[in-house]
Each structure stands twice: as C-alpha cells, then as structure tokens.
Chains A and B, each alone.
Chain A
Amino acid sequence: MTEPATDTVVCDACPIRCVIKPGRTGSCDRYGNIDGVLARMDPLLVLDRTREQGGALVPFASREGDWEGDLVLTGEMFVTGAGSGTTYPDYKPAPFIVSSTIAGVDMVTVVTEAIFSYCGVDVKIDTDRHVGAERQIVRADGEAVGHVTTGQYGSQMLSLGGVNHLTGGTKHEGVVTMETLLALCSGGSVELSVDEGSQLVLQAGQPPVINGVVEERMRVGCGSATIGMFAQQWYEHVDEVVVVDDHITGVLSEHQAGRYLDIPATGIKVKGRRSTPGRYFNVANAGTGWGGTDIEDPLTIIERFDPAVARPGLTLLMIGTTGEHHAYFVLDDELRPVPAPLPDVLRLSVARIRENCEPAMTSVLFMAGAGGSLRAGATVNPVALTRSVNQTLTRVTCGGAPVYIWPGGGITFMVDVMLVPPGAFGYVPTPALVAPLEFTLRRDDYAALGGHMEAIVPMDEILARPDVRYS
C-alpha cells in the first residue's frame, strides 16, 4: 500500500504536526485524513460506534446532500453527549441527547455542533491609540475581513467577519475571513491592518500590539476626568498640570477641580478647541503617542505662557492618561518650560495614575445565528425551539459557556470566546465556522416542543459507556 505522498496531510491541530496517511488518524486519534483532507474525527468515530451497536440516531438530513453555498450545512449536525452545560464544562461530541437531574428537575441537553455562515466577532481593543477611523476597512492578508466600528470606553472596536465577507466576496476573501475568525475564536493571534490606520496583532485575553508596540494599560479616564481624580493630590505640589488626551485634554488651573481648590491661574495657553474651562478638544491629531494623540513632544500643544500671569520658576507637570508618558518642567526667566527631574512628591501621583489603569486587553465576542436546519436536529418543530429559547425555558450554551441571546427572530447569540473550551471551534470549507451549541431544558418542556424523546439517554448511562471519553 503505497499512496502517493500528495494524499498525506500534515495536521496543524497541535505542535506535533503528525504526517497522516489516508484513512489513518494522528497520534491523538482526534484528527485524521479522510480522502486527503484533514478532518476532526470524534463525531464520526462515535457515530460509527453507535451505528455498530444499533444505537438510535436522530434523523436529520443526508450527509451526501450538495451543501455548497448553503448558509447552514446540512447533515453535519451531531447530537452529542458529553453533557456540556450540565455536568462537565468541556465539550466533546457524542451522538446523544442527554438527560440528567439538576436540582430535582429532569433536564434534557441537546448537544450539537453547528455550522455558522452567519457569524462574526466583535473585538474590543483596550487602547486610546488611534487604530483607524471608524468605518475603515480591516484587512488580513490583504483581504477585507471587517471594519472599525463605534469606539467604546477606553477602547477601539472592530467588527470582523459576517456573511458578506465569508461568502459574499471572492473565495480567497471568504477563506481569509474564516481563518481570521477561527484564529481569534481559538485563542490564536492574528495580524490585521487598518486602511489608513495601524498594524494590529490581536489575541483574545492578551494585550493588543499596535504598530509593534504592546499596549500595557487602559487610560485611567479622559484628561478632564484625570484632573478631577488627582487634583487633590497635585494641589500645593505643582503649579500646573496638563493631562494630554486625544479626547479631552485637561488643564488643572482652569478646570473646575482646580477652581474648587483655589489653584491660581498660570497663564498657560493650550492649543485646541476649548469645550468648557480647562477642557480642550483636538489638541493634536489621533495617533500612538501621548494619550492617544500623535504627540511625541508634549510642549508642542502649549502655545505660550501669558507674561501678565505667568512667572519664572512656575512648575508644570505634563502627563498622558495612562501615566506611561510624563514630563516635568520649570519656567525659566523667558517663561520657557525647561525639563527638570520629577520631584518625589509627584512621582507618587504618576505611579498612582498608572496603577489605576487596568491592564489593556483584547476581548473577542463570537456572535452567530442558529438557522432552521440546526434546530431540526433538536426538535421536529424547529420554531418551537426558538420560541422556547426566547421564553427562556431553554438555556443555550456554547461549549458550556453562557451566551447572550439577542431579542428578535432566530437564535442569535454572543459568547466570550475565552469561556469556550479551546479547540471547540472548527470550520468547514463553505467557508463557515463550526461551534458547539447546547440547548438545555426541562424534559417535559422538551417533549412539549416535539423533542426526539426516543433518543434521550440518561447521563449516567452515557458516562458508563466505555467508548465515551470524559473530560
């Protein structure tokens, strides 16, 4: 038996990178080579065993059906049985509808692996740095995979994936989009570029890397808020403080907080558009420098000191909203700010700003909609499942992780990918993502909505089966 070398596949599921011949599995037995294509084996293996042993399968749809272009792949749904969302946090496929008793109520969990063409991720990047203007295209490998969307507190937001990038563009665009989503959902890192913006390296649960710089901390607040929070600590230790921020730059002596403490005017003239006293918009352009601006030298935002008010020896602290950038100046006889060492008494407030900034993270929410054919695997009357979910009689989980269900039609949910067991996400060449999905409901409710009662297997019977791996 000598197959041509081209039929072997190199598995990339783990670092071992097994070379797998057709019909064989890798060293883990989880992945195998089916007709020259790397495939996840567990559902098939367990399904085969169930068939051999005469077990009942939930009738669904023909696996041989031509599914190219279908929004939801038919026949790939397995009702599985490790009891995700009920007993064990980990997801392992096995073709069962499982019942167990939770709090004295007989519960039914329908565990499936669902194919999602309608899916994407929202990425929250904790940074004030400019990653790109809203609505700019986000690219991976040159292909458009999403866009910059509405910014949120201390964060830039990306919306990636979705059916238009997955199946609405070229094949390559779809594949790159799918790979990007899969990597982000699986805890991998992706390299993205924003048109007229930054280069990003993003990984769920890790600090974002923007133009090669690791973002360490979220800002403590906007420049104005920072003045408010720390005015008391600066009072009597420094004459003037400017908190540089792309959103609102704060000036202590003019700010409400400074007035309250009777801090005298310093004659400082800051560039930008004054909003209210001591609060300035647009002191500079957005960028990756001080406080999310393009500023490298903070003095560029100070027009001058008014000689009628300012005096030589006046002290000035300039600081970004994360405490990462700061500088201390003393006015010379010509009222020019001259850099000077930061006095110890101010060092504490700088450290405190830094300390109050939370670690910057990249967070990824997977969002997807469950279509009609998926629901058919769970019940003979699919819309009854939707209604049951909407009435919160049925709890939906993704690999055991809690989800937020959108109101409105369909079963559209969001889940934090960090809570989904690693390895739970997969793909099909449509291209579309595969994710676990479990519906848990009371046994009598399940019967009422036309569930496959004949296929229910008690949990302890599943766990006692020698061929079911538990975790």
Chain B
Amino acid sequence: MSGPTASTTADGSRLHLQHGPIDLIIEAWGDATDVADAYRRAWVRFQPLLDELVEELPTLRRPLDDEMPGPASPVGRRMAAAVRPFGDRFITPMAAVAGAVADEICAAMVAGGDLRRVYVNDGGDIALHLSPGESFDVGLVPVPNRPALLGKVAVRAHEPIRGVATSGRHGRSFSLGIADAVTVLAADAAGADAAATVIANAVDLPGHPAVRRVPASDLEPDSDLGSRLITAEVGPLGAGEVAQALAAGVEEAERLRADGLLAAAVLCLDDQVAAVASPVLASAVGG
C-alpha cells in the first residue's frame, strides 16, 4: 500500500500532494519562509487525511440522517456542512469530498502564516485564500478532456468567493445528469463542489432515448449513489434538447443562488453555455 507523497516542482514554487485518489496542486504567495512553513503545514495536515476519511467512509457515503451521528473528522464535518442545505435532494457528503479536502488544506496553510494568496487545487475543485486587495484569475474550461478557455473570472478579495468547483460527466465521479461541466463559484470549495454536483445532476433530459443510464452499483459496487441510474453515455442531441437540458440546470442554479449557496455558475453541454451569476459578477462570467 502506498502512503501519502509530497513533491515540489523543480523551481520549488508549487507543491504536489498525493495519496490514493487525492491529487493536490498547491501554490502560495508570500515571504519565502512563510510559504515554506505553509507547505510544511499542508504536508503535516495532509498525511493522516485520507485515513481519517476512510475511517468513516460508510457514514460519508450515506445521505445525512439527523437520527444518526454525523461525520466526526474535520473534513467529514466540512462535507456534511456543505451538503446539508441540499437535504431535500438526493445527496451524500461524498458530493463535497474534493472541495472539502481543498478547504481543509487551505485552512491549515493560512492558519498561523502571513500569505498573500493561496490556491489548493484538488483535481479542479479549488480552495482560495486572498488577503485584502489580492485577486485570482480563474480560467473556465467547459469540457475537461478538450481544454480550451471559455473565459476568465477575476475573483477579488472583497467578493464572497473562496471556492471554485467543477462537476459533470467527464470527471472521476458519476453524474445523474448529462452536463459536460458545471463550474460553480461559492464561498468555499466544499460548497461549490456540492452545488456543482447538484446542478450537473439537474442538467438532464429525463427519459430521453439517447441517454443511456446504468445503476451506479453495477459499475462501482461501493458507490455512494447505490443503485441510482447514472449517465453512462449520451448520444447525439438536437440543439433544442441541449437548450432544454441546460434550462433545467439554470433553474436549479437560480434556486441555489437565491438561497445564497453560490455566487456564480457556468453550465456547459455540447457547444452551448449558460451562466447564472450575481449581478456584480455577471459581466465577468459572461465574458
């Protein structure tokens, strides 16, 4: 069995942490000693993290149940907190695992250090730290396996955005919907992760013959989705059908925005893109 590993790029600027399915690319800006200390804190926090999650995997793979004790590990609690507002839909804490890991490591790095900026990128789910006056340019790639920049969002320190997450059919996780990608900007990465999952599930054409669905457990016996039908394959769709599926997702995204669960969302299916954003961000996301 392989343990956690840490390496840096040759110039020492970026830190790569990996353990099992967790791959983090991390970069921090600040005084060299502060950055080095932050990388050490990240590594210290990272090492036991997967074991903590594995310890309570059965709990994390079940929808929250107020009758039962919830997750106890710090990351598990972040996951539960992120999915709790979506309780009326089917969702398990696993929907926020990548974002919650990014948040946890980012928090460990920022605690006790003076850093200007930090990003912790957990396979596309990104936790950010910005000190006053700082900003990050976040590029949006609509289809992960066909990288091309759709546009850019400048996340500025005064905006309530510290998490970016993308969900869809092409990632490692199964989707109940057919979206190629849904990217969400939210207050933290765990919340963005959960919201992106929920919106990607909503981008759908129920009963459409071009969409082949199989029970998740047929593919992965331990999937948190159990025997729910996940999207295995999407055949050719008409432009009207694509727009219809996206509209269902936009409707869900608008609800989440009204509930204060996200700041912006970009939804992609085929060659169509839809966006939902707070007024202040609308122009940026539209670009």
Q: Which 7 A-B pairs have the closest CB atoms?
A: A14-B20, A28-B21, A423-B2, A27-B21, A15-B54, A471-B16, A90-B7
Task: Pick the contact of B3: A1, A27, A90, A187 (CB < 8 A).
Answer: A187
CB contacts under 8 Å to B, within A1-19, are 1-2, 8, 12-19
Question: Complex Cα distance A15/B222, Å?
Answer: 14
B16 touches A90 (CB 8 A): yes
State the Cβ distance, B179 to closest chain A Cβ, in Å: 20
B-chain residues with CB within 8 Å of residue A87 when the two chains form the complex: 10
A-B contact count (CB 8 A): 77
A-chain residues with CB within 8 Å of residue B145 when the two chains form the complex: 466-467
B-chain residues with CB within 8 Å of residue A8 when the two chains form the complex: 221
Task: Pick the contact of B20: A21, A28, A466 (CB < 8 A).
Answer: A28
Q: Which residues of A contact B (CB under 8 A)?
A: 1-2, 8, 12-21, 24, 26-29, 87-90, 186-188, 421-423, 466-467, 469, 471
A16 touches B57 (CB 8 A): yes
A-chain residues with CB within 8 Å of residue B57 when the two chains form the complex: 16
Question: Complex Cα distance A226/B218, Å?
Answer: 68
A-chain residues with CB within 8 Å of residue B9 when the two chains form the complex: 88
Question: Complex Cα distance A12/B2, Å?
Answer: 9
B-chain residues with CB within 8 Å of residue A467 when the two chains form the complex: 145
B-chain residues with CB within 8 Å of residue A16 when the two chains form the complex: 20-21, 50, 54, 57
Q: Is B1 part of the binding interface, using a Cβ–Cβ cutoff of 8 Å?
A: yes
Residue contacts A-B, CB under 8 angstroms, 18 given: A1-B214, A1-B218, A13-B1, A13-B2, A14-B2, A15-B20, A15-B50, A16-B20, A24-B220, A27-B20, A27-B21, A29-B21, A87-B10, A89-B10, A186-B2, A466-B147, A471-B18, A471-B23
A421 touches B21 (CB 8 A): no
B7 touches A421 (CB 8 A): yes
Q: Is B19 part of the binding interface, using a Cβ–Cβ cutoff of 8 Å?
A: yes
B172 touches A19 (CB 8 A): no
B-chain residues with CB within 8 Å of residue A29 when the two chains form the complex: 21, 172
A14 touches B1 (CB 8 A): yes
Residue from A13, A29, A186, A471 whose CB has the most chain B CB atoms within 10 Å: A471
Measured as residues with beta carbon below 8 angstroms from the partner, the interface class of chain B is 20 to 34
Nearest opposing residue in chain B for A21, CB measure: B219
B-chain residues with CB within 8 Å of residue A15 when the two chains form the complex: 1, 20, 50-51, 54
B7 touches A89 (CB 8 A): yes
B222 touches A18 (CB 8 A): yes
State the Cβ distance, A84 to closest chain B Cβ, in Å: 11
B-chain residues with CB within 8 Å of residue A12 when the two chains form the complex: 1
A19 touches B218 (CB 8 A): no
B219 touches A24 (CB 8 A): yes
B-chain residues with CB within 8 Å of residue A188 when the two chains form the complex: 1
B-chain residues with CB within 8 Å of residue A24 when the two chains form the complex: 219-220
Question: Complex Cα distance A26/B223, Å?
Answer: 11
Question: Complex Cα distance A28/B1, Å?
Answer: 14
B222 touches A422 (CB 8 A): no
Q: Is B8 part of the binding interface, using a Cβ–Cβ cutoff of 8 Å?
A: yes
State the Cβ distance, A205 to closest chain B Cβ, in Å: 11
Question: Complex Cα distance A298/B188, Å?
Answer: 64
Question: Complex Cα distance A144/B123, Å?
Answer: 44
One digit per residue, 1 when the CB lies within 8 angstroms of any chain A CB and 0 when it does not, for chain B 28-59 equals 00000000000000000000001100100100
Q: Is B5 part of the binding interface, using a Cβ–Cβ cutoff of 8 Å?
A: yes
Task: Pick the contact of B220: A13, A17, A21, A422 (CB < 8 A).
Answer: A21
A-chain residues with CB within 8 Å of residue B3 when the two chains form the complex: 187, 422
Nearest opposing residue in chain B for A87, CB measure: B10
Nearest opposing residue in chain B for A28, CB measure: B21
State the Cβ distance, B216 to closest chain A Cβ, in Å: 11
B-chain residues with CB within 8 Å of residue A18 when the two chains form the complex: 220, 222
State the Cβ distance, A459 to closest chain B Cβ, in Å: 11
State the Cβ distance, B35 to closest chain A Cβ, in Å: 18
CB contacts under 8 Å to A, within B122-145, are 145
State the Cβ distance, B180 to closest chain A Cβ, in Å: 15
Nearest opposing residue in chain B for A90, CB measure: B7
A-chain residues with CB within 8 Å of residue B16 when the two chains form the complex: 90, 471
A423 touches B220 (CB 8 A): no
A-chain residues with CB within 8 Å of residue B222 when the two chains form the complex: 18-19
Given A13-B1, A186-B2 in contact, is the A89-B20 Cβ separation under 8 Å?
no
B50 touches A14 (CB 8 A): yes
Given A19-B220, A27-B21 in contact, is the A88-B1 Cβ separation under 8 Å?
no
B-chain residues with CB within 8 Å of residue A421 when the two chains form the complex: 5, 7
A-chain residues with CB within 8 Å of residue B146 when the two chains form the complex: 466
Question: Complex Cα distance A29/B170, Å?
Answer: 12
State the Cβ distance, B203 to closest chain A Cβ, in Å: 23
CB contacts under 8 Å to A, within B141-199, are 145-147, 172
Question: Complex Cα distance A8/B147, Å?
Answer: 33
State the Cβ distance, B168 to closest chain A Cβ, in Å: 16
B54 touches A423 (CB 8 A): no
B-chain residues with CB within 8 Å of residue A28 when the two chains form the complex: 20-21
State the Cβ distance, A92 to closest chain B Cβ, in Å: 10
Nearest opposing residue in chain A for B218, CB measure: A1
Question: Complex Cα distance A109/B212, Å?
Answer: 44
One digit per residue, 1 when the CB lies within 8 angstroms of any chain A CB and 0 when it does not, for chain B 11-31 equals 000001011110100000000
Sample of 10 further A-B pairs with CB below 8 A, known A89-B7, A422-B5, A423-B18: A12-B1, A14-B21, A14-B50, A20-B220, A21-B218, A24-B220, A26-B21, A27-B21, A28-B21, A466-B146
Residue from A29, A186, A188, A422 whose CB has the most chain B CB atoms within 10 Å: A422
Question: Complex Cα distance A87/B8, Å?
Answer: 11
Question: Complex Cα distance A27/B98, Å?
Answer: 12
Question: Complex Cα distance A17/B57, Å?
Answer: 11
A-chain residues with CB within 8 Å of residue B172 when the two chains form the complex: 27, 29
Residue from B5, B54, B57 whose CB has the most chain A CB atoms within 10 Å: B5
Question: Complex Cα distance A305/B136, Å?
Answer: 81
A-chain residues with CB within 8 Å of residue B221 when the two chains form the complex: 8, 19, 21
State the Cβ distance, A437 to closest chain B Cβ, in Å: 18
State the Cβ distance, B60 to closest chain A Cβ, in Å: 11
B-chain residues with CB within 8 Å of residue A186 when the two chains form the complex: 1-2
B-chain residues with CB within 8 Å of residue A471 when the two chains form the complex: 7, 16, 18, 23
Nearest opposing residue in chain B for A17, CB measure: B54
B218 touches A88 (CB 8 A): no
B2 touches A422 (CB 8 A): yes
State the Cβ distance, B173 to closest chain A Cβ, in Å: 8
